Structures are given as C-alpha cells and as structure tokens.
Structure 1
Amino acid sequence: MELRQLRYFLRAKELLNFTEAAHSLHISQSTLSQQIKQLEEELNTPLFNRIGKRVTLTEAGELFATYASQSVNKANEGLLLLKDLNELNVGTISIGVTYGLRSILTQAVVRFASEFPRINFRVVYGTSEGLMEELNELELDLILVFNETTKAQHLKYQPLFDSPVTFVTSLTSRLSGKKSITLEEISQLPLVISTKGDSTSHFIIKAFDRSGLSPKISIEVNDIPTILDLVKSGNWHGILMQTSVKGEGLYSIPIKGRGMVRTAMIISLKEAYEKQAVKRFCNLLTEDIIRLQGVK
C-alpha cells in the first residue's frame, strides 16, 4: 500500500469521477484506474462500485476513506515537521560534556538559542567514558571531551583546542608564585582529583606511572567546583585541565614534562544522520573558540 494510491483513492472518492480525478492529479485515467485496482486487490475488497460510467463508493470504501485520510494527513504533517527540522524551527540537540569542558559550552548555547529559539537543548555532564557509551547508544548527538586515545573507525573527531594539564593550589599556599612544578614535587603533596572514571584523572595517574611515581591522592570527587573549593581551603592541591580552573583564591602552576597537554574534541557518530541544528551548533562553537583564541 503506497501513499500515492491513498491520495488517488481519496481524490476519486471526492469527485466520484475517474476522468476528473485523473485530470486534477495530472495523471492519465488508466494510471489512476490501475493504481486503485492494485489497492483494492491488496485490501481484497472493492472500494468503488463501477456501474457503466458511474462510480460510487462501496461500504468498505466509505469506512476505509477515514483511515486513508488520516494516513495521508499524518504523512503531510511528517513532511512539514522534517521541513521545520531542516530549517531549524523545531528539534532538540542532545550534548554530552565532560566536567573539564563545561566552561566552553555556555556562551555557545546562549548564542545559538538567541538565533534559533525554537530548538531545545538537552545537556548531560559526565565522565568521558560514560558519555562515550551514551553516544554509541544514540542517546546523544555529540559529546565534548578530551581525547588522546586511538581513534575508533565509527566515530568522527573534530579537534577544538589544546589545553595544558595544570597544578592548582590555594592563593595562600607556600607554592603560590612558583613558575613551574614537577611531577616528583607534586607526588609529595596531598591531592584532590576527579574520580578515576574521569579521563583527566586517568591521564594524571598514567603520567605518574610513566615517571615511576605514586601520587598522594587524599580525595576523589566527581564535581569540579567541589574540587576547587577544597583546593581553596589550603588543605589539598589539585591537578586539573586549565579550562576548569575558574574563580578567585586559586593559583595555577604549569607542570614540567612532555605530554602535559590534552586536546578538546567534538566527537559524533560517523554514520548517524547529522541534524542541521547540530551542524550549526558545532560551527558556532568552533567560531567562539577561534574568536577567544584570537583575543588571547
């Protein structure tokens, strides 16, 4: 059963004249008759009484017309919805964001929402590992994460910027004012870091392992603002992405050594349909980052 057959049937029902119906549809009468005949054969019941040149609806035709009309209307509504979706008049963008990149998202969302107010946002914060799982389950359109791992063939990667991994201490700390610090020095200090499921904490622990060092991890927290508050107390120190260090009372110290830089990326599924809203948002986010880097 095809939509065009339903449309042909409904026009013939309306005019009760196959010649006039075919003319209004810009098809031949033979084409109209053939398509309606095929529809009747599929339904295994006649929809029209054909008496000479007169055409009337059968009881089955009267009953079927209601459902045929609903089907055509729903299909038309679907086409309008897709048109609105492509023209950014409707839809939802689902974004996953790792804790270390929350600061870059807000401005882009505000700008996008002012330009396309009918698009809704769903923002999920989580660890890189958890967000990757949700992306693979098609629960997210894209994720913003730090990534240095081997690239998966089914994913699309769009690098945004590089950010250093930095040592964070209280402004009142004896370390405040240092121009750089080594991992060996850090290993002697009490640390508060993100939970081990977070990619940044995984990156930090691997860096210590490569240097043959064991950090003194006193507290693990899955919330960046809480880590910063604990560091401000002066009792602990932190290791975070530079993009995460916000607020007064903190002092950041570059960590000596190679590879203490991570790449922020937009990651999406390569084979999944990319909505126009998602494309526009990614472009806008990239524009914001380029502009901020230019200011720096």
Structure 2
Amino acid sequence: MELRSLKAFVTAAKRLNFSEAAKEMCVTQSTFSQTIKQLEEELGTVLFYRTSHKVSLTKAGEELLPFAVTTIDSADNCSRRMNDLRELKCGSLNIGVTHSFNMVMHETLKDYMKLYPDIFLNIVYKPMTELINRMMNHELDFVLSFRPKDNYPLIESHLLFEDVLSVIVRRDSPLAKHGKVSLADLVDYPAVLPAKGLQARNVLDRILSETNTQLNVRAEMDEVTPLLRLVRNTGLYTVLSSSATEDVDDLVAIPINHDGCHMEGCVQTLKGVYKNMASKEFIRILCETSLVKKRITDWLR
C-alpha cells in the first residue's frame, strides 16, 4: 500500500468530490480515480459510494479513514525529523497568532529571521477559534494565544506567561489613578472595545454577563494596534490583557478586580504531533523576549 494512495483516499474523504480532490493533489481526475480504484482492489473492498451527483464513504471507508490519517501523520513526522537534520537551511513555518500576542511578535520575528534567513515564515493573525481549527486541519504548526476556555481534546496548551484582563487608558485619564478598577467604575466612561470573538472580548463578555453589567460602548475594532491608537487620540478606554501595553509609554493598564480576569499566554500545539526544530527555535527566541523570558516552563527545557 503506497502512501500516495492513502493521501488520495484521505483527500477524497475530506472533499467528497473526486474533481476537487484531484485538483488539491495536482493530478488529473482520471489519474486520481485510478489511484482510488487501485487502493480498493488492493484492499479488496469498496471505499466510496459513487453516483453522478454524490460521493460518500462506505462502512469500510469510514473504518479506514482514522488509520489512514494516523499513517500519514506518522510519515509526515518522519519527514519533519529528517528535515531537521538539514540544520534549518530550508523549509517553512506556519504560525497562528491572536492579535493580543502582537506585543511579543516584532522582537521575535526580527531575531528569528536574522538567525534563520532561509526559513519562510507564514504568520496568520486571526481569532483564536479559527486558528485552532486551522491547526487541527494541519494548516498551522502552532498557535500563540491565551489559553482557551473551551475544551479542545486534541490540543495541548503550554504556559508561557500569566496575565490579567485590564482597562487600558491614557495616563491623564481619571481611571489611571486607580490601582484596580471594578466593572461598576467603568459604566460612566465611554469605551472602544475589541471586537466580539477576540479573546479579551470573550473574557470581558463572560464577566459582564455574570455581573449583569452594561458598558457605554462607542465603537469596536478587530485589531489591537489601531484600537490603542484610538485610545491615545480620543481618551476612550479599552479592555485588553495588561501585556498589550508592555512596550507602550503613554498608556497604562489597570487590572479589573474580578476573579474571572486571569489569563494565561500559551503555545497551543496538537497532541502527538512532532514539534519540528524550526518551531522549537521560534519558541526559544520568543521566550527570550522581556515579557516571557522569566516564565519558561518545564516543557521547553
């Protein structure tokens, strides 16, 4: 049984369309169909029901699918190990990053690209849920985000640093004099918030619901950099992790006084998947940034 046959089978099982699966594998549809037919003949069973309008898995196909995926993952892990022997002289690294992690990326990217100029970096900024789903589809090597509140059985979260949900204001704001603020302290002030779906907003919405509090929201934005710029220019406040102002002099982060505001910055990886050397080196450099270098956990040593 050839690996390419299993890859063709898994692609067809995912697409349930031979034409689209053939395009994904960059072969003609006739070649793709012949590959599936040869696999069925080798196994002595039909793997797909085929009609002029629909393709679906047979019972045998459903049984084969998880074993085929495991076999392909094992082969990919073997290939990654061999690529590591090339001393990071080629290859690519696909990283998912939530906007809250933007504060540690600039320094990390600069140092990594200087050390490994031949590694192509593909950096994807999206909400955490979308990034996790893309990683589970093997589109990303790892994700940098705060620990998800929902349960993902296939994901491992490795702690980098601890953080707290905070109010971000200009230093001349009346709120800046507080050591901590309650939600009740905020209701009379206008806010610009991160958009729904972003992690800081998810945490905020949860505690607003728990306390039955309604804020005076004037605007929402789905990126941190222009959000902070608007806070500077208008005097509005926003709510983000305190680390969002780590390298900012004119803004201050005031922790929100609520038990549900604790946040943990993590590296999210797939369970059981080999962590290649390019990933390990990126994470090592990330941990040398001022924000996280004192909080390296045992899994990185």
Say whether the fold is shared (TM-score over 0.5): yes
Give matches, 1:174-253, under 5 Å: 174-245=174-245, 246-253=247-254
Q: Paired residues, what number?
A: 218
Q: SS in structure 2 opposite 1:201? A: helix
Give matches, 1:82-93, under 5 Å: 83-86=82-85, 87-93=87-93
Structure 1, 185-194 or 149-158: larger mean CA deviation: 149-158
Deviation at 1:150, TM superposition (A): 4.0
Matched letter for residue 138 of structure 2? L
* Whole-angstrom distance in 2 between the partners of 1:175 and 1:242: 15
* Whole-angstrom distance in 2 between the partners of 1:80 and 1:199: 34
Partner of 2:132: 132
Q: Are the counterparts in 1 of residues 173 and 235 from structure 2 also a CA contact under 8 Å?
A: no
Partner of 1:270: 271
Deviation at 1:146, TM superposition (A): 0.7
Instruction: Could you tell me which runs of 5 or more consecutive residues in structure 2 were left unpaired when the two chains were aligned.
Output: 3-77, 297-301
Distance 1:125 1:81, change over 3 A: closer
Q: CA RMSD in A?
A: 2.6
* Whole-angstrom distance in 2 between the partners of 1:81 and 1:237: 46
Q: SS in structure 1 opposite 2:275? A: coil
Deviation at 1:142, TM superposition (A): 0.6
Q: Are the counterparts in 2 of residues 178 and 253 from structure 1 also a CA contact under 8 Å?
A: yes
Give matches, 1:7-46, under 5 Å: none
Instruction: Could you tell me which runs of 5 or more consecutive residues in structure 1 were left unpaired when the two chains were aligned.
Output: 3-78
Deviation at 1:137, TM superposition (A): 1.9
* Whole-angstrom distance in 1 between the partners of 2:208 and 2:80: 53
Partner of 1:30: none
Q: SS in structure 2 opposite 1:138? A: coil
Deviation at 1:241, TM superposition (A): 0.8
Q: SS in structure 2 opposite 1:204? A: helix
Q: SS in structure 2 opposite 1:160? A: strand
Matched letter for residue 120 of structure 1? F
* Greater radius of gyration (CA): 1
Partner of 1:261: 262
Structure 1, 232-241 or 260-269: larger mean CA deviation: 232-241
Percent of aligned pairs sharing the same letter? 21
Deviations 1:58-82 (A, max 9, x none): xxxxxxxxxxxxxxxxxxxxx9997
Deviation at 1:209, TM superposition (A): 1.1
TM-score (ref. length: structure 2): 0.65
Matched letter for residue 267 of structure 1? Q
Structure 1, 267-276 or 124-133: larger mean CA deviation: 267-276
Q: SS in structure 2 opposite 1:274? A: coil
Q: Are the counterparts in 1 of residues 146 and 265 from structure 2 also a CA contact under 8 Å?
A: yes
Structure 1, 147-156 or 238-247: larger mean CA deviation: 147-156
Partner of 1:120: 120
